[in-house]
Structure 1
Amino acid sequence: MKRNTKFVLGGVAGFVVLIACTVAVTLAVSLNGRNRPFSDDSKTSREIVDQIRRLMTDPEAVGSAIHAYLITSVDAHQSEYVAPADKRIYYVSSFSGSAGVVVITAEKALLWTDSRYHEQAEAELDLEVWTLMRSGNSGVETYQEWLAKNLEPNSVVGIDPKLIDSSSYQSLSTYLSNAGHTLKSIEKNLVDEVWDDKEPPHYAEIVVLPYKYSGRRVSEKLEDVRRELAAVGAESHIVVALDNIAWLLNLRGLDIPYNPVFYAYVIITPSELRLYVEQPTRITAEIVSHFTEEGVEVKVFDYSLVKSGLAEVVLENTSGKMLMSGTSQDIFEAVPESRRLIRTSPIVLLKVVKNDVEANGMREANIRDGAAVIQYLSWLDRNIDHMRITELSGARKLGEFREAQDAFRGLSFEAISAVGSNAAMAHYSPNEGTALPITRKEIYLLDSGGQYWDGTTDTTRTVHFGTPTDSEKEAFTRVLKGFISMGTATFPTKAPFSFFDAMARRALWDAGLNYGHGTGHGIGAYLNVHEYPPSIGSSNSEPGMLKNMFTSNEPGFYQEGKFGIRIEDVVQAVPAKILGDFNGVGALQFYHVTMVPLQTSLMKIELLTKQEIDWLNEYHERVFRNTDPVLERLNDADAREWLYEQTRPITYECSSI
């Protein structure tokens, strides 16, 4: 199908993509959390909280009594997204968001969560039991401040040391001590103690990531890590982050839904590579052969033996430092203070700067994934008038289109498929009880992604299949202007991440508008859809943007109770095509990896500059050129015709801003 560049903006409803900075979570309960989300549905949230309160004074559970108990949203590896067995806040409160802190005292039960989840939390919590603390809002105390001010003198605060990172533990301990209180490690997790029907963890198959996708052998990666350890004066390293372990070993799993990782620890010494894994029998003969082919010998131990393994390494290496990065307080305490070196793991930067094979794979995966999203939006546009398609059934249909793509491995997160007022909740995901129909009357926000052998995708588009209001079009266009501003930036190597955040917000700020989430996050190569750095926010600057970093570009706007808008692409930092190089520092720009059209019928064209229009037309031409052949191979003529309409060039009109 050839392009006809003479077309201008027509009357057919176009489509826009908007992406969110965090992974979606299912709104799994009805009003105010009175329906339990787990199999132990005989208990109300109040009953669970009361059971925990009784344990707070039970000597068998806590020793001497505690006056407050903290519950975090992470697992023992400080993972952002966790398996069902680690969703303790969800079990206790029915709040299903991915980030939060709970404090339970004899009189109060409080939940802190950030602005992404304020509306969601209010809907999910039983507000007769819970107090919602809207983190980030003016006048709202942090949980540390609340504890210091509201506990009786000389109170004791308890926490599971496995579920808090050592830096946060030490900081909280000092803060409470200065206020006259004490932080105490409680080995028995009080939530687990009352969780009667808790399902055991699910251990999925561990698979080998072939060299044609990884682009670098384990032996080469290990050599890089050991070199970096020596450079900072470390002899050994305990690796706790699950994506770091999967990347280092060129293995993938699925112990946490949507995240291709597996539960394990790794200890690196000058002469050994130790792997501590749940169910060591999962290290099959194929994986052993993989290690041999990749040039490494790996000693495999049971997961539960990691602390004794740390003790052995410390004893064998009598003077060398062990680099510790992001460990739980429990793991932190297993290494003597004199032997600890607290630094960011060298694996982090090695992993986030993609090699050429990984970078090419990310581009290819996004082309195929873009074709799947195009198929879905085309299918919606053809069918919403005579079929009842809901936020949930639509998301499932999108999954079918993705599953038909080559090298598909699963979804990268649960789709944020949201209509109208639901889209105003930045990380809403539908279920059978909440799913609204998708119609031509309201905005539809779709934030979704896939996992492929060669890459991970994360795409957001906001569309309206009917006639958007003027306010919706202006909000969308201002979000788009910020999206283009960041996406077309030229910048020096190591430019601070906060630079990009300000660029993405400028057009919204000009109208007194804003959004509460970050502007971008790093993305793994067939790994976690959230990978840090990059982390594009108002205060993040280290290590700065580097060549072959992949990040999301996802500004948004949300009008509570009415609609939400977000546009998100995955972008790759590549060498810039300019004459200067910032005095030898090096010049970079972004290449948009995501291949899905932006809906022109949602734009106020008069608000766009000629440069923005030119970029948009060039981007749409590239989307068409890359995805049309995929749709042709799939024999989807309808999607090809829809793509053709959506990528028609638009003409410049006199700008008013």
Structure 2
Amino acid sequence: MQVSDRIKAVRKEMNERGLDAWLVPSTDPHLSEYVPACWQRRAWVSGFDGSAGDVLITAKFAGLWTDGRYFLQAAEQLKGSGITLMKMGTAAVPSINDFLVGELKPGAVVGCDPQVLSASRAATLQDDLKSAGLKLKLGTANLVDRVWADQPTLPREPLRVQPRRYSGETLARRLSRVRAEMKVTGTDAHVLSALDAIMWVTNLRGRDVECNPVAISYLTIEKKQATLYVDPAQLTPAVQKHLGRHVQLRPYREAGKGLKQLATRCDHIWVDAGNSTRWVIDRLKGAELYSAMSCVTYMKSRKNGVEQDGMRAAHVRDGVAMVRFLRWLDESIGREKITEISAADQLERFRAEGDLFQGLSFRTISGYAAHGAIIHYSVDEQSDVELKPRGLYLVDSGAQYLDGTTDITRTVLLGKSATREQRDRFTRVLMGHIELGRSRFPVGTRGLRL
């Protein structure tokens, strides 16, 4: 089934439901940036597999909105698809909301799956459409799912316990800290949808998403109990013992029912509207919602001593693998055939030989020469090229270890000498880093301001 046929199939579903537009966000029911194969709907319907981007389909138009990291990749992958690349952030390209307002006639209906639309985004979209006489219809069926014949099933990889020697804190202690913040806000329950937050609180790890140690789940925390919604097939005896009396278990498929029940017994519920879908909010009707960033976001960003030590140790271990790789590259370039893919594979092998290695933290960006200038370049069999003993090679890579996560970038000169231009650019970057390292700034200043 070609991309153009997939778009036609979605349009047929739209027509049957009286929809004038259908929005396909890149995310999933947990608003993840990286999603399991079964929920990679935007990638399937468009052919573009970058980590960010949304597709909008109308009766006569299909467009992909993505940011500058993916302009080159998207332009290549969209060729012949009939999908227009909408370059976000450029002057001539409207936002999806503005495009809908400008293109659709009053009375037109825009559809989307509420399980992949954040509560905050849904509210903004609804307001913008309403101001132009348009309607937003959030249905129970995802139209891409209806036409995706060979859609993968939900992953069911076993969960594992993250030992205290790596987390530095027990499950009971983390639940107690969340409950203390609930008391401050006057809430009876806190609903967590973000997978990384759930894994942090429960001291669990999974393998449901490539390069991310998470499991598909929901977690609700009340004053006296907590409930984890997860596929029972993923629960090992060790995990069940770990959760013990602290967390009760229910099947993932019962999350919707469980949220409705939560709303009947809790008057005030804490949700993070930016990290919760409209689907979650709709199931909490009847309760008063306290909408604010989850306290877990702050807690997990402030590492305890054990976590800090682990992160340092992981980077030392990762650094050893990188030094081994750089030595191998220096000794092998020009003597044996090395390609972008084989170089990335060799780096992964060096990492895998180290202690506590669990896998990559993202797909390695391995770009030689012109490919190194492509932001978030993703090498495949078609684009793979051989590295020569000249020019520049960029490798952006990282790993997941039991005690920490790494993400480092190195630009390597393959040859005996650099050009005048290369020396100039590297010197300017170095000067910028030195100035940044010497800068004094007020407490609370964000990195973007620097």
Q: TM-score of the superposition, structure 2-length normalised?
A: 0.96
Residue 429 of structure 1: SS of its match in structure 2? Answer: coil
Match of 2:260 among 293, 305, 311: 311
Instruction: Give the number of the structure whose residues are more often helix, by fraction.
Output: 2
Residue 461 of structure 1: SS of its match in structure 2? Answer: strand
Match of 2:13 among 38, 43, 55: 55
Alignment partners' CA distance in 1, 2:287 and 2:160: 38
**Cα deviation 1:2-51 (Å, max 9, x = unaligned):** xxxxxxxxxxxxxxxxxxxxxxxxxxxxxxxxxxxxxxxxx111111111
Deviation at 1:499, TM superposition (A): 2.9
- 2:411 corresponds to: 462
- 2:237 corresponds to: 285
In structure 2, give the amino acid aligned to 1:479.
V
- 1:244 corresponds to: 197
Alignment partners' CA distance in 2, 1:457 and 1:361: 11
Matched, 1:441 2:399: no
Residue 344 of structure 1: SS of its match in structure 2? Answer: coil
In structure 2, give the amino acid aligned to 1:494.
G
Checking the alignment, whether the CA contact within 8 Å between 2:24 and 2:54 is kept in structure 1 is yes
Deviation at 1:490, TM superposition (A): 4.2
Match of 1:335 among 257, 275, 284: 284
- 1:320 corresponds to: 268
Q: How does 1:599-614 map to 2 (within 5 A)?
A: none
Checking the alignment, whether the CA contact within 8 Å between 1:45 and 1:126 is kept in structure 2 is no
In structure 1, give the amino acid aligned to 2:431.
K
Matched, 1:472 2:425: no
Deviation at 1:498, TM superposition (A): 2.8
In structure 2, give the amino acid aligned to 1:323.
V
In structure 2, give the amino acid aligned to 1:94.
G
Q: Can you give the 5+ residue segments of structure 1 that lack an aligned partner in the other structure?
A: 1-42, 501-657
| 4+ long deviations beyond 4 Å | none
- 1:22 corresponds to: none
Alignment partners' CA distance in 1, 2:7 and 2:271: 38
Q: CA RMSD in A?
A: 1.4
Question: How many residues end up aligned between the 2 structures?
Answer: 448
Q: How does 1:578-589 map to 2 (within 5 A)?
A: none
- Classify 1:177/1:333 alpha carbon distance in 2 versus 1 (closer, same or farther; 3 Å): same
Checking the alignment, whether the CA contact within 8 Å between 2:228 and 2:249 is kept in structure 1 is yes
Q: How does 1:223-372 map to 2 (within 5 A)?
A: 223-277=176-230, 279-292=231-244, 296-317=245-266, 319-325=267-273, 326-336=275-285, 338-372=287-321
Checking the alignment, whether the CA contact within 8 Å between 2:20 and 2:58 is kept in structure 1 is yes
Deviation at 1:339, TM superposition (A): 1.5
Deviation at 1:442, TM superposition (A): 2.0
- 2:29 corresponds to: 76
- 1:178 corresponds to: 131
Alignment partners' CA distance in 2, 1:128 and 1:233: 52
Deviation at 1:314, TM superposition (A): 2.0
Alignment partners' CA distance in 2, 1:267 and 1:456: 27
Deviation at 1:188, TM superposition (A): 1.3
Deviation at 1:477, TM superposition (A): 2.4
Q: Which has the larger radius of gyration?
A: 1
Alignment partners' CA distance in 2, 1:126 and 1:465: 33
Alignment partners' CA distance in 1, 2:442 and 2:325: 38
Alignment partners' CA distance in 2, 1:155 and 1:301: 40
**Cα deviation 1:109-157 (Å, max 9, x = unaligned):** 1001000000110011025601111101122111111110011221111
Matched, 1:191 2:154: no
**Cα deviation 1:342-366 (Å, max 9, x = unaligned):** 1101100000110010011000000
In structure 1, give the amino acid aligned to 2:73.
Q
- 2:4 corresponds to: 46
Checking the alignment, whether the CA contact within 8 Å between 1:254 and 1:260 is kept in structure 2 is yes
- 2:76 corresponds to: 123
Deviation at 1:397, TM superposition (A): 0.4
Q: How does 1:396-475 map to 2 (within 5 A)?
A: 396-466=345-415, 467-475=417-425
| Structure showing greater relative contact order (alpha-carbon pairs closer than 8 Å, 6 or more residues apart) | 1
Residue 276 of structure 2: SS of its match in structure 1? Answer: coil
**Cα deviation 1:235-293 (Å, max 9, x = unaligned):** 1011100000000011100100000000110111101111110x21422221122234x
Checking the alignment, whether the CA contact within 8 Å between 2:270 and 2:292 is kept in structure 1 is no
Checking the alignment, whether the CA contact within 8 Å between 2:30 and 2:195 is kept in structure 1 is yes
Checking the alignment, whether the CA contact within 8 Å between 2:38 and 2:151 is kept in structure 1 is yes
